[in-house]
Every structure is written in C-alpha cells, then in structure tokens.
Amino acid sequence: MLRVPERIGRLMGVFKKNCYMNPTAPEAVQPDPSRFKVSLVCPIGSLWVARIRYANCSNYEGEKILVLRKDPRKLTRLDPHFTPGGIVFARFEPTKLGLETAILVARSVNAAE
C-alpha cells in the first residue's frame, strides 16, 4: 500500500476536503439553489449557457458559468452542483475565458448529436 506523507497528502487534498486550505480565509458559503438570478443566457441547440449569480454565495462573488440541459429562466431552483439526473451539464469559472469555453463546449456537444 502506498503511504502518502501527511504534509503532501494535505496539499493534494487527500486528508482535507479542499486541495488548499487558507486558515485566514472565511468559510465559503454554498449557494442556495432557490436564491439565484440569471444575468446571461445563450441557448445553443439543446443546451443553455448561462451566467448565474447566487445571492448568498461567497466564492467568485456568487457567480457561476453553467452549461445546462434546461432553460434557467424557467426554473425556481437551480443547484450548480453535479447530481445524478441533474440539469448541470458543465461548469466553468466565471471569467471571459470560462464563458467562451462554455460556449465552445455547448457548440461541440450539439455538433456531435
């Protein structure tokens, strides 16, 4: 059995939930699936690329870039996490590059269908 030194394991996320732990950083608040606002939506074939802002979320100022299987404007709850049978197809960092990548992924998936 491979033994990982604890110091290395912590850096890799083996012993902790996150790969990097900053002891002075505030605890990240998980997004409330019922408190979201759609700030951008782009339908691409059978998918929707959306920029979503969660009111209570602290990381990335609550912004998420998602590729979804349903139109987010018609939803009352939207959990940005991956779940079996969920509507989140992909998730990207909320930057210009993240948005461009999400659009490329949605176009590629639709071209392959």
| Phi and psi at residue 72, to the nearest 5° | -65, -20
pLDDT tens digit string along 16-62? 444 445 556 566 678 889 999 999 999 999 999 999 999 888 777 88
pLDDT tens digit string along 2-23? 454 454 444 444 444 444 455 5
Q: Give the CA distances from residue 51 to residues 10, 14, 34, 67, in Å, rounded to whole numbers and listed in that order.
A: 32, 31, 15, 9
Domain of 50, in residue numbers: 26-112
Cα separation of the two ends of the chain: 43
* Predicted pLDDT of residue 22: 53
Residue 78 lies in a domain: yes
The structural domain count of the chain equals 1
Residue 48 lies in a domain: yes
Residue 64 lies in a domain: yes
* Predicted pLDDT of residue 23: 58
Residue 105 lies in a domain: yes
pTM exceeds 0.75: no
* Predicted pLDDT of residue 57: 81
* Predicted pLDDT of residue 92: 95
Residue 19 lies in a domain: no
Residue 12 lies in a domain: no
